[in-house]
Structures are given as C-alpha cells and as structure tokens.
A and B are shown apart, each in its own frame.
Chain A
C-alpha cells in the first residue's frame, strides 16, 4: 500500500530555533515529492522535488530529496511565530497524478 510517513507529528519550538521536518515515502511509480504549508485554509505550495540531492531554497526554508533512501527533509531556520502551521508532505505518482499525503507535522513557534 502506498504510504507517506511524517515525523514528528508535532513540534513546539521558540522563535529563532531551527527545525527539521522528516518525510519518508513508499509509493508505486514515484515521480516527485511536494511540501505544503497548511494554516486554517488552503494548503499553500512550498516545494516540488524531483531530483535526488539537489537542495531547493526559499528564504529561510529549504528542502532536499533522497530517492535512494526514500525520504525528504524540510528545514526552517530562524523560525518565526508566522511559521506556525501544519506542514504536509506528499508524494506524486506518475500516471494517475494523485498525491499521497502524510498526516502532517504540526509546528508551533512560541515567541
């Protein structure tokens, strides 16, 4: 069965801390790995990773994919209270185009 597992399920940090969110996947016909940030509304797109070992960066966020070990990490440096959200990891499958989601990591950044 296709599955995506995220860890930890929840995380509480102080502003300024650096966090690493983990995502492992086992899906058939894997094509790419996506990260989304979900607050109380639409999941907003962060990154799409298709190649192993190439880091993608956007401001304080960065992510990398390891297709050999079947995992990805999302790093957030110098966290701010506005980073508080649920971070979703999803594996995209070729052919059907469906996304297989993990349960998310709930990040709380305290001032």
Chain B
C-alpha cells in the first residue's frame, strides 16, 4: 500500500513564476492537509480539503496561494508569483476520515531564487 506521494520532491523557481505542488493521498484516504515548514520552524497548517471541497483554509495566505482536490487526480497546491519568502518545505498529509491519524508525504522543497 503506497504511502502519500508528493511531486516534485524539489522545485526551483525564480521570483514571479508559478509553483505547482502535487499530492496523491494514500489509497482509501479522501482527506488531504497541506503544511509548510520554514527553516528552524515547526510545521504550520495551511489548508484541509476533501474531494472537491475546501474545509478549512485558515492557514493559507490570502493572496497568491490556492489549493484544490478534484474529483479525479491529485491535490494541487498552487503558488502564484512566488517570492523568496515562499522558500520552504511543503508537506501533504492524508487521513481516511475526520479525526483519523494524518500520514505525511516526503514533502516538496521549494527554492525561490
């Protein structure tokens, strides 16, 4: 049973470009969470999605960031017009149901030049 998959594992972008991060949850999981980890900081919650629905986006910056989890395909975290401060590791987690354990993917390390 494959775990949570994320790609790409590393992403380099120049300021102003767009970054698209993908997350495929574990088989049988329909709840997806995105977290960001800045250097020397703990993981910070960004957004919680179920299929086709955003449940909680209280941790998402108001501008440039968006997330989706379509009926088919992976969840996508999209960052438009990236800035250097967006450089971080972005982790996706999934769970089978609300309140169940969240299992994490290996993360995407974004570097903005």
Chain A residues within CB distance 8 Å of chain B: 4, 31-32, 34, 36, 41-45, 48, 88, 90, 92, 94, 96-104
Contacts and interface: CB of A to CB of B under 8 A. Distances in A.
Nearest to A43: B104
23 contacts: A31-B99, A42-B3, A42-B104, A42-B105, A42-B106, A43-B91, A45-B103, A45-B104, A88-B42, A88-B43, A96-B48, A96-B56, A97-B48, A97-B98, A99-B33, A99-B43, A99-B45, A99-B102, A100-B45, A101-B35, A101-B42, A101-B43, A102-B42
B26 to A, nearest CB: 11
Interface of B: 3-4, 31, 33, 35, 40-45, 48, 55-56, 58-59, 91, 93, 95, 98-99, 101-107
Contact of B106 (A31, A36, A41, A45): A41
Contacts of A92: 99
B39 to A, nearest CB: 11
Given A34-B102, A92-B99, 7 more contacts: A4-B42, A41-B106, A45-B103, A96-B48, A97-B56, A98-B59, A103-B41
Name the prevailing secondary structure of the A interface residues. Answer: strand
B107 A42 contact: yes
Contacts of A34: 101-102
Contacts of A98: 33, 45, 48, 56, 58-59
Quick one: which of B3, B4, B42, B99 has the most chain A CB within 10 A?
A: B42
A16 B100 CA distance: 34
Nearest to A93: B45
Quick one: which of A34, A41, A94 has the most chain B CB within 10 A?
A: A41
